[in-house]
Amino acid sequence: MMDQWTDRLSEYVDGTLEAEERRQVEAHVSGCEACTAIADELRAVAARASTLADRSPARDLWPGIASRIAVTEESDILDLSRARARRRFAFTVPQLVAASIGLILFSAGGAWLMQPSPVPAPVAAASVQSPVVQAVTGTASYQHYDRAVAELSLVLEAGRARLNPGTVRILERNLRVIDAALAEAVQAVADDPASVYLQDHLANTMQRKLALIRQAADLVTAAS
């Protein structure tokens, strides 16, 4: 029952709720010790994170699929670097998870509803693998991605005791949703490797998961 409130705490702390929603959340938080603790932790983590210096990635994790994930101003990918530069509450775990899940689920549905009808193509075209398909089948690029996710997950696991249990529960639940969406994206590309739309969807989903785990690991560091 508490989940319906914990999912809104980041927006509450950030001051982005509508007036009526804010009154409802305030009324709940005033009588709920668990939600009060989570809200206090979000404020403390954001305050601590605002004092941290930005870190550049140790290595390029996307050499094999750079052409598929080039971010333009019109892209719907969450720009995490600019979000960190603003140092607002937007990068707290619940709100970041909610934004990432919304984008992934929207894209997952659109991949099946909006995909154009197949157009006959020369047989030779089917044998040409895009960088994303090569990544899925086990090239060094995908292995680097998988290793980076594993390393960041270890950081998160080692520091989970420093986060509020409610925050950890939200994060774990929504990471499972992201993993399910990623598995569907991999299968979709395997079924239709010539679809550029599905290739882009897979690359974006992989990037969002990596970015989410990296931000969660940053929050663990900030809470230490």
User: Which domain range does residue 117 map to?
Assistant: 3-223
Enter the tokens of residue 198.
């599905």
Q: What is the separation of C-alpha 206 from the centre of its chain, rounded to a whole number of angstroms?
A: 9
The one-digit pLDDT tens for each residue of the chain (224 residues) are: 455 666 778 778 878 888 888 888 888 888 888 888 888 887 777 677 667 665 555 555 455 455 555 544 344 444 444 444 444 443 444 444 444 444 444 444 444 334 444 443 433 333 344 444 444 444 455 566 677 777 777 777 877 788 778 777 877 777 788 788 888 888 888 888 888 888 888 888 888 887 777 777 777 777 76
- Are the C-beta atoms of 207 and 145 separated by less than 8 Å? no
DSSP string, 41-98: HHHHHHHHHTTSPP---SS-S-TTSGGGSPPPTT--S--HHHHHHHT-GGGSHHHHHH
Enter the tokens of residue 78.
């969450």
Count up the domains in the chain and report the number. Answer: 1
